[in-house]
């Protein structure tokens, strides 16, 4: 069964009154996400608040509904949606809307898949009904935003936002940071874990949600003159922990703007400076960010994990064959030894398995 056929079949089971228009809308959202133009983000937030206030909670409604590989529907009627502030949901929606797909071929393939299902009698409508609507849509409105059919709206009262599927795994962490931000003056979020597990991806999206600067531990490689055997035998020895502590940990404790120098791996020297503004939320991303030498400086901690096979595949795709070998023979063994030695996962508020 093709991926979209599987998704559409699940939607037919849940929404047996799906009309041709709703099926095309599902294919559209599955490939392109939100198709509406966002011109006024504040106005969109106010509409979202009004919609949340008008939609009754449905206790059996899950927060996310699968519509494809890249996108999901975030159901506003879900009890879990009420645990998120409207501001965060709105940001999730806006961020998702900016990452547009341009794969018209994939969208057309999904329409063909639906048409084939209609011919096999697998849709709630006849092949003739679906074919006529599909012809009308492709000739006059191909790719345009569209609403659900009247029958679908009356039967199911849909209330959702189409967002990137990456949010599904990040929601538990978003809730933790959101609640910490309510209780604490400042939040330091440290994202530690395995190579290629999605630490940078998580930091990127969370940074946009919480308007948070990101500090990467990759900026603190150990200089060659300090790479002695005894140092490299230490768990976490290949991070310049001393400089990270003085240039980051101690500065964060003050709560003011600061800057530090990036380590230039190509020249093995300290290079340009980067400025870190004081912020309600600050994100520390990278391996060794939760080393015990730094104390309990982070009030939210997450460990990201990944299976060895997926990790190897990602690194090969991302870094190429030469760097892939170095990761597998040098850096990954060092990281894994550190994670195991200090039992980093047990120190964390949350473990996330691969973004």
Kindly tell me if the per-residue pLDDT of 44 is higher than 80: yes
- At 281 the three-state DSSP class reads strand
pLDDT attached to residue 301: 98
pLDDT attached to residue 140: 82
Residues 134 and 101 in one domain: yes
Residues 49 and 134 in one domain: yes
- Write down the mean pLDDT value for the chain: 94
Residues 42 and 57 in one domain: yes
302 strand-pairing partners: 191, 350
Q: Average pLDDT for residues 222-246, to the nearest whole number? A: 95
Give the CATH number for residue 177.
3.40.50.300
Q: Give the domain range for residue 128.
A: 3-164
Residues 249 and 223 in one domain: yes
The pairing of beta strand 214-216 with beta strand 281-285: parallel
Kindly tell me if the per-residue pLDDT of 35 is higher than 70: no
Q: Average pLDDT for residues 262-280, to the nearest whole number? A: 92
User: What is the DSSP code string of 266-296?
Assistant: TTTEEEEEEEE---SEEEEESTTTT-GGG-S
pLDDT attached to residue 100: 73
Can you give the pTM of this predicted structure?
Answer: 0.92
- Top pLDDT among 243 and 268 is at 243
Residues 173 and 85 in one domain: no
| Separation of alpha carbons 17 and 157, rounded Å | 12
At which of 147, 164, 181 does a domain end? 164
Residues 100 and 17 in one domain: yes
Q: Average pLDDT for residues 84-112, to the nearest whole number? A: 90
Residues 174 and 303 in one domain: yes
Kindly tell me if the per-residue pLDDT of 163 is higher than 70: yes
Total domain count for the chain?
A: 2
DSSP 288: T
- Top pLDDT among 41 and 340 is at 340
**Per residue in 313-336, pLDDT tens?**
999 999 999 999 999 999 999 999
pLDDT attached to residue 172: 96
Short-list 346, 342, 323, 349, CA closest to 195 = 323
pLDDT attached to residue 2: 87
Angle between helix 86-97 and 166-183 (nearest 10): 140
Q: Average pLDDT for residues 286-310, to the nearest whole number? A: 97
pLDDT attached to residue 37: 64
At which of 118, 139, 164 does a domain end? 164
pLDDT attached to residue 38: 75
At which of 140, 164, 188 does a domain end? 164
| Separation of alpha carbons 318 and 67, rounded Å | 27
Residues 241 and 160 in one domain: no
**Per residue in 100-149, pLDDT tens?**
766 788 999 999 999 999 999 999 999 999 999 999 998 887 777 789 99
Residues 116 and 189 in one domain: no
- Top pLDDT among 2 and 88 is at 88
């Amino acid at each position: 069964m093709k991926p979209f056929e599987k998704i559409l079949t699940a939607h037919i089971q849940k929404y047996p009154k799906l009309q041709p228009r709703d099926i095309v809308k599902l294919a559209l959202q599955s490939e392109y996400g939100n198709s509406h133009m966002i011109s006024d983000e504040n106005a969109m937030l106010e509409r979202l608040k009004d919609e949340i206030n008008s939609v009754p909670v449905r206790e059996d409604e899950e927060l996310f509904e699968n519509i494809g590989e890249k996108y999901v529907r975030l159901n506003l009627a879900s009890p879990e949606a009420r645990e998120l502030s409207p501001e965060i949901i709105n940001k999730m929606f806006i961020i998702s809307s900016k990452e547009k797909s341009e794969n018209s071929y994939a969208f057309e393939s999904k329409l063909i898949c639906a048409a084939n299902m209609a011919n096999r009698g697998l849709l709630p409508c006849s092949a003739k009904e679906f074919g006529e609507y599909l012809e009308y849509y492709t000739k006059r409105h191909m790719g345009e935003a569209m609403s659900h059919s009247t029958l679908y709206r009356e039967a199911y009262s849909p209330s959702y936002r189409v967002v990137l599927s990456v949010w599904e795994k990040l929601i538990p962490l978003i809730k933790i940071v959101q609640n910490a931000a309510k209780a604490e003056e400042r939040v330091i979020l440290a994202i530690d874990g395995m190579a290629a597990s999605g630490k940078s991806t998580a930091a990127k999206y969370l940074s946009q949600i919480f308007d948070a600067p990101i500090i990467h531990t990759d900026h603190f490689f150990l200089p060659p003159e300090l790479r002695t055997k005894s140092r490299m035998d230490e768990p976490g020895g290949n991070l310049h922990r001393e400089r990270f502590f003085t240039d980051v940990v101690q500065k964060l404790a003050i709560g003011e703007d600061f800057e530090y120098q990036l380590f230039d791996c190509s020249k093995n020297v300290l290079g340009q400076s980067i400025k870190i503004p004081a912020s309600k939320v600050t994100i520390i991303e990278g391996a060794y960010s939760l080393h015990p030498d730094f104390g309990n400086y982070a009030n939210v901690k997450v460990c990201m994990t990944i299976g060895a096979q997926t990790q190897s595949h990602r690194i090969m795709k991302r870094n190429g064959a030469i760097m892939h070998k170095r990761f597998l023979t040098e850096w990954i063994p060092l990281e894994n030894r550190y994670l195991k030695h200090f039992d980093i996962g047990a120190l964390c508020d949350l473990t996330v398995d691969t973004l």
